[in-house]
């Protein structure tokens, strides 16, 4: 079925198409952000087309399969029954009315924003855009991206203008609405997470707000795309800074012989003015390890140094080195050198109970241990194998949790709830715990770091 012709409609008619669910939604990037968004809009009665450059993903989705652990095949099949299909043909962008861009925005090797996925997406879609469409960027990025990259890419194509204050028959609406996905969190319904929206002009803001209000229970409009972009960075930098604080305090508490987890638990009983954050082996996921560097990079354009934020990033980046040093020290206490030691790493995912490797500290820790001459294996129920990524090249297979006593050290990096930590401690020679997963267990085999 062809999408309704919105090219010559006014804003009120565009909004009515949202209300009647005749508006077609296109979502570019079918990963941990885009695919859940597909399901949410599909559940609300919209016909959704998903776009991805990975033809294997497209094929699996069109066969009713899922490649994300928390999304079941029946969720995909239910969406298909409501009109969902996936494609790698970006010419089909012309058939949808709202285009939501959910592509990666990693850091380059030099810690600067890598906009290649966004620019490649825009290159693929600009010649297929048509009047009356809404383009929304959801990818985490620096303030100014929507106005400095998305809008100019559309206007450079020469055929369309950006609709700002009045609905024009030769224009496209542009907005920014940051994703707020939390992989593995099943306690909050996705539609209950408020959606922040910044439109490039009042028309785009109205259109984007109406679209997202159809799928989310609350929408918060801010004055501009840049304000929405900064909102996303603030949310994640807030977490980054506070995690850096407890990571640094953990290192101090280890020297002082104080249990940082006990301290955090006691402090968390205060009913005001305190929110608990927890230390770990390093930051992972797409946003928190990356966002501080995005803002620091952009700040230099304004001759401003974000010293506080940069320091937090440095503290968190140092944590994998601390874990490796703790393993070496624990082995040394048992008259075993790190070089040649057999080590089993528990958990590759960046957080427990998710099938997400993005920026996982486990990957860095494994490579560091290998560089020191250790013989490293891993176990993770979500990753039977791990190959090569942007920043790692491991080519390993998950090992069964058998013969744990054959390893010189079992290192807990990701605290999956499926692990039987009591058994692991009983059967291992040495357990180094970077997540406090063995809390409540008492054994001379355990070294908490």
Point out the residues that are catalytic: 287
3-state DSSP assignment of residue 432: strand
* H or E element that contains 346: strand 342-346
**CA 365 to CA 376: how far, in whole Å?**
10
293: left (phi over 0), alpha (psi -120 to 50) or beta: alpha
Q: What is the Cα Rg of the chain in Å?
A: 24
Q: Which tokens in the block code for residue 196?
A: 């922040």
Q: Are 107 and 113 in contact (CB under 8 A)?
A: yes
151: left (phi over 0), alpha (psi -120 to 50) or beta: alpha
Instruction: List, in order, residues 6 or more apart from 408 with CB less than 8 Å away.
Output: 331, 334, 336, 341, 342, 343, 429, 430
Q: What is the DSSP string of 293-337?
A: HHHHHHHGGGT---HHHHHHHHHHHTHHHHHHHHHHHHHHTTT--
**CA 127 to CA 419: how far, in whole Å?**
51
Burial class (CB in 10 A: 0-12, 13-18, 19+), 336: middle
Residue 240, φ and ψ in degrees, nearest 5 = -60, -45
* H or E element that contains 221: strand 219-222
**CA 204 to CA 64: how far, in whole Å?**
34
Could you say which DSSP state residue 90 is in? G
Judging by DSSP bridges, how do beta strands 393-397 and 385-388 pair with one another?
antiparallel
Residue 164, φ and ψ in degrees, nearest 5 = -120, -65
| Contacts of the segment 71-80: beta carbons below 8 A, 24+ positions apart | 71/35, 71/36, 71/39, 75/39, 76/39, 78/42, 78/43, 79/38, 79/39, 79/42, 79/43, 79/48
Burial 110-119 (b: 16+ CB within 10 A, else e): eeebbbebbe
What pairs with residue 199 in β-bridges?
Answer: 175
What pairs with residue 48 in β-bridges?
Answer: 25
């Amino acid at each position: 079925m062809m999408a309704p012709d919105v090219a010559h409609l006014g804003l009120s008619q565009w909004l009515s198409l949202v209300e009647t669910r005749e508006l077609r939604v296109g979502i570019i990037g079918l990963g941990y952000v885009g695919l859940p968004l597909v399901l949410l809009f599909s559940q609300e009665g919209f016909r959704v087309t998903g776009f991805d450059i990975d033809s294997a993903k497209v094929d699996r989705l069109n066969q009713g399969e899922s490649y994300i652990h928390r999304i079941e095949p029946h969720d995909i099949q239910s969406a298909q029954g409501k009109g969902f299909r996936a494609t790698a043909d970006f010419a089909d962008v012309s058939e949808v009315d709202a285009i939501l861009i959910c592509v990666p925005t990693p850091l380059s090797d030099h810690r600067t924003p890598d906009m290649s996925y966004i620019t490649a997406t825009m290159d693929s879609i600009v010649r297929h855009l048509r009047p009356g469409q809404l383009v929304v960027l959801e990818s985490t990025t620096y303030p100014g991206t929507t106005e400095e990259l998305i809008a100019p890419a559309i206007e450079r194509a020469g055929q369309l203008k950006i609709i700002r204050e009045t609905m024009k028959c030769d224009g496209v609406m542009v907005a920014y609405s940051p994703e707020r996905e939390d992989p593995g969190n099943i306690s909050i319904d996705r539609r209950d997470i408020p959606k922040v929206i910044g439109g490039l002009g009042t028309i785009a803001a109205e259109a984007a707000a109406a679209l997202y209000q159809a799928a989310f229970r609350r929408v918060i409009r801010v004055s501009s795309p840049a304000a929405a972009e900064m909102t996303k960075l603030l949310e994640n930098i807030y977490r980054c800074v506070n995690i850096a604080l407890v990571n640094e305090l953990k290192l101090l508490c280890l020297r002082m012989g104080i249990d940082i987890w006990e301290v955090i638990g006691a402090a968390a009983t205060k009913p005001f003015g305190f929110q608990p954050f927890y230390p770990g082996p390093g930051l992972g996921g797409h946003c928190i390890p990356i966002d501080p560097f995005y803002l620091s990079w952009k700040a230099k354009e304004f001759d401003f140094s974000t010293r506080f934020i940069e320091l937090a990033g440095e503290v968190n980046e140092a944590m994998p080195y601390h874990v490796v040093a703790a393993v070496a020290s624990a082995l040394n206490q048992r008259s075993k050198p790190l070089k040649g030691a057999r080590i089993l790493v528990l958990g590759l995912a960046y957080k427990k109970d998710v099938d997400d490797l993005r920026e996982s500290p486990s990957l860095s820790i494994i490579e560091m241990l290998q560089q020191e001459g250790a013989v490293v294996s891993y176990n993770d129920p979500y990753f039977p194998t791990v190959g090569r990524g942007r920043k790692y090249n491991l080519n390993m297979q998950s090992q069964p949790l058998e013969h744990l006593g054959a390893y010189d050290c079992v290192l807990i990096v990701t605290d999956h709830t499926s692990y039987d930590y009591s058994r692991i401690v009983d059967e291992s020679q040495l357990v180094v715990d970077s997540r406090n997963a063995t809390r409540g267990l008492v054994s001379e085999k355990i070294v908490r770091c």
